[in-house]
A and B are shown apart, each in its own frame.
Chain A
Amino acid sequence: MAGGQWPAVLVISPLVGAALCLIVGRWAPRAVGYFALGVFTLVSVAAGFITYTVSAVGSFSYHMGGWQPPWGIELRFDEFSVSIAVICLVGWLALMFSLHYVNHAVPEPRIPYYYALFLLCLGGMNGFAVTGDVFNMFVFLEILSLSGYALVAITGERIAELAAFKYLVMGAVSSLTILFGIGFLYALTGSLNMTDIAQRLSSVEPFPTGVAVAALTLGFCVKAALFPLHVWLPDAHAIAPSPVSAVLSGLVVKIGVLGMLRMYQVLYSARTFDLGALNTALMWLGAISIVMGAFFAMVQEDIKMMLAYSTISNIGYIFMGLGLASTFGIIGATVHIFNHAIIKATLFLGAGALIYQTGYRDLRDLRGIAKAMPVTSACIAVGAVSIVGIPPTAGFLCKWYIALGAIEAGRIFFAITLLFGALLIFVYYIRMLNAFYFTPATHPHLLQVGEVPMTMLIPIVILAVLCLVMGIFGRIPLSFIEPAVIEMLAPVGG
């Protein structure tokens, strides 16, 4: 079997590792972080092998317990599953960043729980990304969501629990909506395996299918924080510890997008279902998200709040690309799943480093910080330039593709919205950079703080370098995605 037993290692070791975290935490509280990092290194190695296998021999599947699908659960490793690579990359770096950061952000008795939840969240995402079974998808969605809610609350800051509760309520409602949609699909097709559903969906009533699609879309859009379903996101992402914010903003919201992609995969290959209305709605919501996210972000003074709102804008890009339903549009959206994860992780970890060293998170307090922390600031600057989509950084590729996609689909208005939306985003990032670089310090004592410890600095630098490299060598993820998208759109003649 292609891929050997790596798939099992990939999905199981974070779960078992999380269980062991508590045990390790009891005997050696200081070692938990390194233990978690070690576990996740193993996971990353598995992800690396799988990614390599997919690139070398194409997609393959792994049958859990040896049961053939649709009776058993199938893990599917296709081009979209390769998102495990970025999950592992960002997750690993965020874990490494945590090693020092948690001591400052999380009350000490909670630290083992922090790492256990972190591993569960990452493991849940891996499981979600690779499963080929809709109900199993729901189970892993819950693992990652629950750990996400708890990670938001774990700092114990003033409104942390409130933010987490808001996140939990909306998240739980969306999970239920998704389960409802899954139930519909099951009632219609009698199957839970995606490939199987796709085959059987072509012979069922279109209207109930539409209801199922609507329910799934609604659920995934909440998870992805598409406007106007985004209200949970800003507080949750701003209040969480920075490595968690990086994972939540970079990866967890993408899980919603990934769910949408999986749904599209099924629907496109089922062929019968008309996606016109859905696509139009997503396109418009995407466009509104871009603009609204940017406007909200503009008035923020809290650096992490600003980053959180910018996530909403970027999710708007992705949904616009999906809704365009043209080859380039979907390629752009998929590429942005990867690139935005890297960019946003850079920014959140960078912001975390600033907060760690200075204790301030307000832009007005952080003025002139670039002189004290040049490397971190430079990395943030790279991330900022990248997220706006200035070439040759990672963010540009997506903008270029989605713009091409909009024009390909004959909807030039959306290309214009996209590009001007990006400018709006720049308005607030330039404000941040101005504060860091070109404004005299508000608190002169901050000029003495110096850089963060190496375990925090290295992840930021690696991510910032990736922001640049992924822009220049953007073909590398594309070489995966392009054939998959073309194959996905082939049945509808895309």
Chain B
Amino acid sequence: MEGLWNNIDYAASVVLFLIGLYAVIAKGNLVKKLMGLNVMETAVFAFVMATGIVTGGDAPILGAGAHEPFANPLPQALILTGIVVALSTTALALSLIIRIYERHGTIESEDLWGVE
């Protein structure tokens, strides 16, 4: 339990992840599903970023005024990539939603169910 308290950042991201998952599963509106997905993405990014936290760490940029310890730069680099991936997924999902709306006039999955 103590471990969990210390790792509350991780725990928060786990909870956020599950909230996002809930939205993806339970929400009927496609845009809301997508928002759930974005929440999940954020949760995972937060999780990975939290692995790089260093108490009292400085930004990992060398030069004048920089001091040890630096925050872990690797997760930051990874998540920069992750964000781009998330952006790409969102862009594609949105354009699919646009097309779905154009074609069927609705983005509620209950209404779309009959279309299939």
Complex-state Cα separation, A162 to B97, whole angstroms? 8
Q: Report 23 cross-chain contacts, Cβ distance below 8 Å, ordered by A residue.
A: A135-B81, A149-B96, A158-B103, A158-B115, A161-B96, A161-B99, A165-B93, A168-B89, A168-B92, A168-B93, A169-B34, A169-B37, A169-B93, A172-B37, A172-B89, A173-B21, A173-B24, A180-B17, A180-B44, A183-B48, A186-B48, A186-B51, A235-B116
How many B residues, CB 8 Å from partner? 33
Complex-state Cα separation, A175 to B41, whole angstroms? 10
Q: Does A150 belong to the interface (CB within 8 Å)? A: yes
Beta-carbon contact of B44 and A153 below 8 Å: no
Closest A residue, CB atoms, query B47: A183
Closest B residue, CB atoms, query A181: B44
Count A/B pairs, Cβ under 8 Å: 75
B-side interface residues toward A, CB under 8 Å? 10, 17, 21, 24, 30, 33-34, 37, 40-41, 44, 47-48, 51, 74-75, 78, 81-82, 85, 88-89, 92-93, 96-97, 99-100, 103-104, 112, 115-116
Q: Is the interface of A mostly helix, strand, loop or mixed?
A: helix
Beta-carbon contact of A180 and B47 below 8 Å: yes
Complex-state Cα separation, A146 to B86, whole angstroms? 11
Beta-carbon contact of B116 and A176 below 8 Å: no
Complex-state Cα separation, A365 to B108, whole angstroms? 34
Closest B residue, CB atoms, query A205: B3
Closest B residue, CB atoms, query A191: B74
Q: Please name all residues of chain A whose beta carbon is closer than 8 Å to the beta carbon of B10 when the two chains form the complex.
A: 187
Q: Could you say which of B40, B48, B85, B116 contacts A159, with CB atoms under 8 Å apart?
A: B116
Asked whether A179 and B82 contact (CB < 8 A) given A161-B103, A173-B21, A186-B51, the answer is yes
What 1/0 mask marks residues of chain A from 172 to 216 whose CB sits below 8 Å from any chain B CB?
Answer: 110110011001001100001000000000000000000000000
Closest B residue, CB atoms, query A182: B48
Q: Does A302 belong to the interface (CB within 8 Å)? A: no
Complex-state Cα separation, A290 to B88, whole angstroms? 34
Closest B residue, CB atoms, query A156: B99
A-side interface residues toward B, CB under 8 Å? 135, 138-139, 142, 146, 149-150, 153, 158-159, 161-162, 164-165, 168-169, 172-173, 175-176, 179-180, 183, 186-187, 192, 235
Beta-carbon contact of A164 and B47 below 8 Å: no
Beta-carbon contact of B24 and A165 below 8 Å: no
Q: Please name all residues of chain A whose beta carbon is closer than 8 Å to the beta carbon of B74 when the two chains form the complex.
A: 192
Closest A residue, CB atoms, query B37: A172
Known: A149-B92, A161-B103, A183-B47. 18 other contacts (CB 8 A): A135-B78, A135-B81, A139-B85, A142-B85, A142-B88, A146-B92, A149-B96, A158-B115, A161-B100, A162-B100, A165-B93, A169-B33, A173-B24, A175-B89, A176-B37, A179-B82, A180-B44, A186-B48
